[in-house]
Structure 1
């Protein structure tokens, strides 16, 4: 399995390569798009300018393309919105063609209509079906395979059993000619929402909906502590249904504090996963380097472990000697 790391700044590309990343995904939003559509008609749902989440200049793409030639680590560009208005499709086609002129051949797409449009226009790029699309069953996989997909990215809510079933069905249908790759989330940003049903924005003007305080379990009126909590919230001027998410209480430097799937690597490999998604665009560079190194170390342990139990024992001993975050992607 290969490590696919999020890249928010071209300066991090060499360091992340040296840390052990095999591939990268990166957002690109040209200023012309930002000027025309702002944040309300987003290109990839990461319309952030106040810190480094994505590239915003063609010159940055040119520099990244040159570094990619030196390091030989692929970079996939994301166009992650769930839908676009009709006038935007020709503009997106133009952007993608300009990226392909620099040697970028693979694009992470979530909008089925955009995929169909690009194929109708003769754009022969590699399509990675975004986890934001929300693929859920083998019939959906079969439908998208008609668009000649290069890779299927499973969303955060897929179970390992579901992924294994879909992968097995695709392999059976494609036989020896099947070359589809399969990618699963493994570190960071375990969101309570399913991306395909989330219509919030990640931008400078609004707080991220996934960071909105909430309770993780139902509260009932007969709960002995309910009345006391209600009075406390009223006194503090807060909503009676608001509290800090548990994962925000984790230590910032703890690997997988906001989502972790390292214990599941053995099962993901058996299911047929070929690539592991390490989310982290906008994170501190040093934190991302540490995440890449920990994931690389886990994969090294996986190669020699004779069983899932042995793998988990060695991995936890080396990466979580004082305990993990318990923010599991796959329980």
Structure 2
């Protein structure tokens, strides 16, 4: 898409949320918030809409933010302190991440599938002062000789505590550390700044808005009218949250769009097909092997996949025969392939 594209020009016009400017030698969004916490705060406007579904747990945006503030107060950290998240995908993982940023900390996303020694090495490598974890990883961390402060997810405080946030972080300050095995040797922590994450999230939002502009133009209606007609979207979260795909594409981007995020603690194709039908999932992204698995199970169970509108994949090449089968099973859905570097 070139700079002369009228939709791109409209979306990135001067004064718009997606106006692009060169900052520190890089093309960035000129009107972006200074830090990720400020961007997250904008999701408060979704209020009583359902945000998190985790088994029998259902939390609205308002309830999630109230729990975030209570945990941020409990952390009692200084700006820039590193706090690790080491637990399976669950509602408390999302709350924990939001609380760390609200408290001015740097969220360290630990691969929760590691051995005791690996978990301890990752936490110690980055100098994390606190670990937010679940009961199983709590035991593993102690086996690995971690002696720092641990807060179990089951001990997160109830909503109600007030919290005064610290001075805001700057765009170039570190926001999150993810671990990558993209180099030789042991996994290494990759530091992402607030601007890194904001730019990635806003790029996804801008791309979605451009699709809506093109759709509205084809229907000969204002884009604002089309947006007003779209019901709340629902995302099935199957990627691990310690991975950039889980963090960005399945958590932060949907949250800012006001979408419902339905968490699968462990992959099961039959459960995935059932949840898609029950929760009216509109957006689902998984690696090709998981798509094969889910499609096979859905056919056996004659599952209803009609709610799906966007199906994404990545992590490996998408076989053309799988693409054809997905299109046949979900003709109403748009297929897409993504690439995200840690």
User: Under a length normalisation based on structure 1, what TM-score does the superposition of the two structures give?
Assistant: 0.30
**Higher normalized contact order (CA 8 Å, seq sep 6+, divided by chain length):** 1
User: Under a length normalisation based on structure 2, what TM-score does the superposition of the two structures give?
Assistant: 0.29
Which protein has the bigger strand share? 2
